[in-house]
Structure 1
Amino acid sequence: MAEFAEGAPCWVDAMFKDVEGAKAFYSDVLGWTFGDAASEYGNYTQAYSDGKAVAAVVPPMPGGDAPSQWCLYFASPDAAATAEKIKSAGGDLMMEPMQVGTFGTMLIAKEPSGAVFGVWQPGEHKGFEKVGEPGAYAWAEVFTREVGKVDGFLPKVFPYGAQKMEPGDDPEMAGMDYKIFSVGGTENPVLGRMNMGEEFPPEIPSYVQVYFSVPDCDEAVAKATKRGGTLHFGPMDSPFGRFAALTDQQGAAFAVIDMSKTSGAMPKMSDA
């Protein structure tokens, strides 16, 4: 299995009060199957697509009352060193580096504008066993109203280069402030950053939007809403694929994208 470069998204999991409900929802919407709960690790349960590990779900820790949300983990060769970079760059550690048996070392952090993310130093568990295929992780974006904080923070923590998307003549992109962060050159983009406009209610904090690949965006949306999910945006065609943003029936935000259905010319990028 390929190792993930430092700063590349390598895993995603979510905490759900109703784990069985979450399993039923994502089994239907994304076609996932689930392994056995690992009781020694808080009943952490891996999700699989075509037999390959793609995500995990877990119940809250005793006494915990955190909202359901997906947490994206970025690869690191040294979680302790990354933790120091996070603190020196103005982020907060919500969970100090913690070794998870022989699987690896994790931490949970918050960037300066408030979006929560994880860092994973792999041991036996390397991360995603497939990416960019139906049923698997496809992309992620940091949504924030404080773009300066995010843009200043990320390259101090991970070895990122950045480019800004030019709106061009597309009226739907007018006023859009979007950056793409890459590792090892612009041919390897790993993360987007979107400025949250007035279309976002003020009570929605900064967050990381995780995209999962699906074979049919509209079908996935129909399944999600039938199971109690909420459609917030789309389905919309783009040069990257047809996508939609939703929350599941427990309030966790996610997006689906059919990357086989692209529309329009790829936007131009400029050095940021």
Structure 2
Amino acid sequence: MAVRPEGTPCWADAMFGDLDGAEEFYGEVLGWTFGETSEEFGNYTEAYAAGEPAAAVVPPMPGQEGSPQWCLYIAVEDAGAAARRIRDAGGEIVLEPTRVADLGTMCLARDPGGVLFGVWQAARHEGFGAPMGGPGAFTWAEIFTREPAKSDAFFPAVFGYTAQRMQGDTTDFRVYGLGDRPVLGRMEMTEDFPPEVPPHINLYFGVADCDAAVSRATGLGGVLRSGPADTPFGRFASLTDPQGAGFSVIDTSRTEGEAPPLTDV
């Protein structure tokens, strides 16, 4: 598999206080299987969809306990250069570029509005291996921010994205792209979001049946936040897992209606 172009979402992970509980939940809901826990990397454990890398779970390090949150990593050619662009654009470096053995180099950051994300300079570990949109695989992601103007200036400056607005949508929703290929959405957080919900990136994982995945999730203690709903992009629902991490599931084979046109901004 070729290394992804700079700016492409390439990996995801999350810290869970109850690692066994996270594996049981996502194994049932998304069909993930899990590899051996790597003590060398803080009990980092990869998840697999159809035998291919899909994401990872890890216990929190001392002092990092709290509500878990999925973190999306964006591919870069040079993590050090990306960190400099992040600072120049007004972002905050949470973890300086760090070499992870022969796997690659990671860096964690926040945009000026507080959205946490990672960058990944691939070496032996190239990121997602499961085909995008397939059961259990990463499918899409959306930045949720209370300061959309800051995100709209920041992400294109750091990753070279183009930006388009979805016409006819009553919400402030934009699509960031690499050329003509959409790679990320950006949604403004309105007063509908409780103040305790931080800005974040919401990840969508593919499922074969959205309603069945929701039923499995809620049966295991997850909370349904919205949906299921039919859209031109698939039938999806947003959930919170039993430990508090938000995510969405989507069945891209079940679509309804025409996608709204996009206009350059």
What TM-score, normalized to structure 1?
Answer: 0.95
Q: Equivalent residue of 1:201, what SS? A: coil
Distance (whole Å) between structure 2 residues aligned to residue 63 and residue 84 of structure 1? 27
Distance (whole Å) between structure 1 residues aligned to residue 72 and residue 136 of structure 2? 16
Distance (whole Å) between structure 2 residues aligned to residue 63 and residue 113 of structure 1? 23
Q: Which residue of 1 aligns with 2:6?
A: 6
Matches within 5 A, 1:145-164: 145-164=146-165
Give the stretch that moved more between structures: 105-114 or 192-201.
192-201
Distance (whole Å) between structure 2 residues aligned to residue 92 and residue 81 of structure 1? 14
- Deviation at residue 96 of structure 1 after TM alignment: 0.4
Q: Percent identity?
A: 55
Q: Which residue of 2 aligns with 1:239?
A: 232
What are the ranges of 5 or more consecutive residues in structure 2 without an aligned counterpart?
A: none
Q: Equivalent residue of 2:156, what SS? A: helix
The answer as to 2:99 corresponding to 1:106 is no
1:142 aligned partner, one-letter code: I
Q: Which residue of 2 aligns with 1:212?
A: 205
Choose the corresponding residue for 1:229, options 222, 229, 240: 222
- Deviation at residue 176 of structure 1 after TM alignment: 1.2
Cα deviation 1:101-122 (Å, max 9, x = unaligned):
0000001101111110000000
Distance (whole Å) between structure 2 residues aligned to residue 100 and residue 235 of structure 1? 39
Q: Which runs of 4+ in 1 moved over 6 A?
A: none
Matches within 5 A, 1:243-254: 243-254=236-247
Distance (whole Å) between structure 2 residues aligned to residue 83 and residue 67 of structure 1? 26
Q: Which residue of 2 aligns with 1:119?
A: 119
The answer as to 2:178 corresponding to 1:177 is no
Cα deviation 1:24-52 (Å, max 9, x = unaligned):
00000000000000100001000001110
The answer as to 2:95 corresponding to 1:95 is yes
Q: Which residue of 2 aligns with 1:264?
A: 257
Distance (whole Å) between structure 2 residues aligned to residue 230 and residue 94 of structure 1? 30
Q: Which residue of 1 aligns with 2:39?
A: 39
Distance (whole Å) between structure 2 residues aligned to residue 221 and residue 57 of structure 1? 21
1:181 aligned partner, one-letter code: Y
The answer as to 2:199 corresponding to 1:199 is no
Distance (whole Å) between structure 2 residues aligned to residue 12 and residue 271 of structure 1? 29
The answer as to 2:65 corresponding to 1:65 is yes
- Deviation at residue 132 of structure 1 after TM alignment: 1.7
Distance (whole Å) between structure 2 residues aligned to residue 117 and residue 179 of structure 1? 18
- Deviation at residue 66 of structure 1 after TM alignment: 3.6
Distance (whole Å) between structure 1 residues aligned to residue 152 and residue 117 of structure 2? 15
Distance (whole Å) between structure 2 residues aligned to residue 233 and residue 144 of structure 1? 18
- Deviation at residue 197 of structure 1 after TM alignment: 1.9
1:68 aligned partner, one-letter code: P
Distance (whole Å) between structure 2 residues aligned to residue 2 and residue 239 of structure 1? 30
- Deviation at residue 201 of structure 1 after TM alignment: 1.2
CA RMSD of aligned residues (A): 0.8
What are the ranges of 5 or more consecutive residues in structure 1 without an aligned counterpart?
A: 168-172
Distance (whole Å) between structure 1 residues aligned to residue 149 and residue 64 of structure 2? 32
1:180 aligned partner, one-letter code: V
- Deviation at residue 229 of structure 1 after TM alignment: 0.6
Distance (whole Å) between structure 2 residues aligned to residue 205 and residue 44 of structure 1? 25
Distance (whole Å) between structure 2 residues aligned to residue 75 and residue 82 of structure 1? 10
- Deviation at residue 203 of structure 1 after TM alignment: 2.0
User: How many aligned positions are there?
Assistant: 264
Q: Which residue of 2 aligns with 1:170?
A: none
Matches within 5 A, 1:122-137: 122-130=122-130, 131-137=132-138
